[in-house]
Amino acid sequence: MLKIKLFQRGKKHQRSYRIVVAPARSKRDGKYTDYLGFLNPKTNTLSVDREKIKLWLSRGAQLTEGVRKALNPTKN
């Protein structure tokens, strides 16, 4: 099963995240199948390719809780 999850990058206190498609049981910073965008919580910057997300969701990938909250901040 594939998941759309956050891939952690950066140093302590300067974290940023890539939004990627990866197998559900892969490591947090392990190999991934496809790159979909990035999230920088320090500057509240979110850049994603929504067409790719729709494509992967139609192929059966599931969003993790962190990605769901990042994409829909009002529904927390």
Predicted pLDDT of residue 65? 94
Structural domains present in the chain? 2-75 (3.30.1320.10)
Range in 34-38, 63-67, 71-75 the model is least confident about? 71-75
Instruction: Kindly report the average pLDDT of the chain as a whole number.
Output: 93
Structure tokens at 19: 């939004």
Write down the pTM of the prediction: 0.88
- Residue 70 in contact with residue 7, Cβ under 8 Å? no
In the chain, beta strands by DSSP E: 2-9, 16-23, 34-40, 45-48, 62-63
DSSP letters spanning 14-31? --EEEEEEEETTS-TTS-
Reported confidence tier of residue 74, pLDDT bands at 50, 70, 90: confident
